[in-house]
Structure 1
Amino acid sequence: MKFYVSVDMEGISGIALREQLVRGEPLYEEARRLLTLETNAVTEALLAAGATRVIVKDAHGSGFNFIPELLHPGAEYVMGATRVENRFPGLDETFDGALLIGYHAMGGTSQAVRDHTMTSQGWQSLRLNGRPIGEIGLDALLIGLRGVPVLFVSGDDKTCAEAASELPGVVTYETKAALGRHAALMKAPQRVREELREAVSRAVRSADRPKPLRLAGPYELTIRFLHTEQADARRYDGVRAKRIDGLTASYVSDDLTALLAMAF
């Protein structure tokens, strides 16, 4: 069996503050360790379940947040920033499933830890074909283009609720109960890593796995920016890319990957 693991940082146990998520901030190094050890717990569970290959992608910010020396030797790692048209290098139809670890809720979600979609600095929210969508849905669709289902999602309680709504049949694991953008009722990271192993094992051993997420085109992606100057900086051709109002831009395409590459 082969599995692809995409790991973000906001939903990792013990993390709730901006200062934990940004390179150079005092709390970042401790958060990197939490991230790496939680990732290792997932890798251990997959290998114990019979995985013959595990690829893990660092999907937070720069894409270089793991502590390399501490990474589990049983997996391969995608590190460094990748463009959206190649968001999951190495993923193809031969993989049995994907897992989204340490994810967060979409921008605008009430009382969620570090809610945002793609960027917390420039965008309020995204809509795809008229429906609000976050990184869970977007990544599941990109993974689904390869014919691969998302089997498992972890993060705070709002993240798990979003995943259950977007991905019927997915197994979720709650690393913390969010109390606000920078507050949560935390489980101890050691406990989370132990429970995460069990939850991942249950998800990949299940005979009733979810189907790959698919959405038929054509596609329209609407971005709601934080400031008008962010919308001003975009280029619009009036056909594929349009300015809707001061804070909103819309992009259309028959190809989902091309659409995201144009918009992002």
Structure 2
Amino acid sequence: MKIYVSVDMEGIAGIALPEQLKRGDYFYQEGRHLLTHEVNAIVEGLLEAGATEIIVKDAHATGYNFVPELLHPGALYCMGASPLAERFPGLDESFDGAMLIGYHGMAGAKRAVRDHTFSSASYQHVELNGKPVGEIALDGHLFGARGVPVLLVTGDDATCREAEAELEGVSVYATKYAVARHAALMKAPQQVRAEIREAVKEAVAGRKRCKPHVIPGPYEMLVRYMSTDIADFKYCDGDRSVRVDGLSVLYRDDDFTRLLVRAL
């Protein structure tokens, strides 16, 4: 059984502050250790559930946040910033399922820890075919397009609600309960690691109820950027890319990956 795991950082147990998430900031090393230990619990759960091949993608910022010497030896780890056109290196149709670990709510989500879509510095809001979307839906489709269903999503309670609304049959596990963008009612990381290992095994056992998340094309993606100068630098031809207002551009494409690269 082959499982692909995409790991972000904002939804990891014990994390709520921006200083825990960025290289060079005061609490970043603490954040790295929290992240790595939770990833190890995921790998342990997958091995206990019968996984024979596991790829774990570091999907946060630079893509180099795990503490390498502490990683569990039972998986292969994708580290470093991969291009958006190949967001999940090594993924193909042979995988039995995927997991989105440590994820967060979409940009603008209410009472969600570190809500954003891909970049809190660049994008205020993203819609796909008229519907607001975040990384859960977009990454879910990237897996679904290969016929790979998302089995488990973890993060704060807002993340869990978003996942259940987007992904058919998905299991969820809440690592914390959001109070505000940088505040949460936290579960102790040690408790989360024990519980999340069991959540992984339960999700794998129930994988037959999960369906690949496929968003049918053609695609229209509306992106509202954080400032007009970002939108100014986007090429708009008036057809496949249209400047809607000072902050927003509408992109059209039949190819989903090409759309993402152009828009984000």
TM-score (norm 2): 0.99
Q: Quick one: distance in 2 between partners of 1:65 and 1:219?
A: 33
Cα distance, 1:209 vs. partner? 2.7
After superposition, the Cα gap between the structure-2 partners of 1:229 and 1:39, relative to the gap in structure 1 and judged at 3 Å, is same
Q: Quick one: distance in 1 between partners of 2:70 and 2:237?
A: 48
Cα distance, 1:238 vs. partner? 1.4
Q: Quick one: distance in 2 between partners of 1:11 and 1:64?
A: 17
Q: Secondary structure at the match of 1:30?
A: helix
After superposition, the Cα gap between the structure-2 partners of 1:23 and 1:72, relative to the gap in structure 1 and judged at 3 Å, is same
What do residues 218-259 of structure 1 show as CA deviations (whole Å, max 9, x unaligned)? 100010112111111211111211100011001100111111
**Is 1:244 equivalent to 2:244 in the alignment?**
yes
Report the counterpart of residue 144 of structure 2 in structure 1.
Answer: 144
Amino acid of the residue matched to residue 50 of structure 1?
Answer: G
Give matches, 1:93-172, under 5 Å: 93-172=93-172
Cα distance, 1:127 vs. partner? 0.1
Q: Quick one: distance in 1 between partners of 2:170 and 2:181?
A: 25
Report the counterpart of residue 201 of structure 2 in structure 1.
Answer: 201
Amino acid of the residue matched to residue 131 of structure 1?
Answer: K
Q: Quick one: distance in 2 between partners of 1:115 and 1:263?
A: 19
Q: Quick one: distance in 2 between partners of 1:11 and 1:100?
A: 10
Q: Secondary structure at the match of 1:208?
A: helix
Q: Secondary structure at the match of 1:46?
A: helix
**Is 1:55 equivalent to 2:29 in the alignment?**
no
Give matches, 1:63-82, under 5 Å: 63-82=63-82
Cα distance, 1:18 vs. partner? 0.4
Q: Quick one: distance in 2 between partners of 1:204 and 1:30?
A: 30
Amino acid of the residue matched to residue 231 of structure 2?
Answer: A
Q: Secondary structure at the match of 1:100?
A: strand
Q: Quick one: distance in 2 between partners of 1:107 and 1:147?
A: 27
Q: Quick one: distance in 2 between partners of 1:10 and 1:43?
A: 19
**Is 1:216 equivalent to 2:216 in the alignment?**
yes
Q: Which runs of 4+ in 1 moved over 3 A?
A: none
TM-score (norm 1): 0.99
Q: Is the 8 A contact 2:97 2:207 kept in 1?
A: no
Alignment coverage as a number of residue pairs: 264
Q: Quick one: distance in 1 between partners of 2:35 and 2:203?
A: 21
Report the counterpart of residue 35 of structure 2 in structure 1.
Answer: 35
Amino acid of the residue matched to residue 48 of structure 1?
Answer: E
RMSD: 0.8
Aligned residues with identical type, % of pairs: 61
Q: Quick one: distance in 2 between partners of 1:228 and 1:240?
A: 20
Amino acid of the residue matched to residue 37 of structure 1?
Answer: H
Report the counterpart of residue 253 of structure 1 in structure 2.
Answer: 253
Q: Quick one: distance in 1 between partners of 2:173 and 2:63?
A: 23
Report the counterpart of residue 186 of structure 1 in structure 2.
Answer: 186
Q: Mind listing any 5+ residue stretches in structure 2 that lack a counterpart?
A: none
Amino acid of the residue matched to residue 148 of structure 1?
Answer: V
Cα distance, 1:19 vs. partner? 0.3
Q: Quick one: distance in 2 between partners of 1:53 and 1:187?
A: 30
Q: Secondary structure at the match of 2:244?
A: strand
Q: Quick one: distance in 2 between partners of 1:43 and 1:228?
A: 43
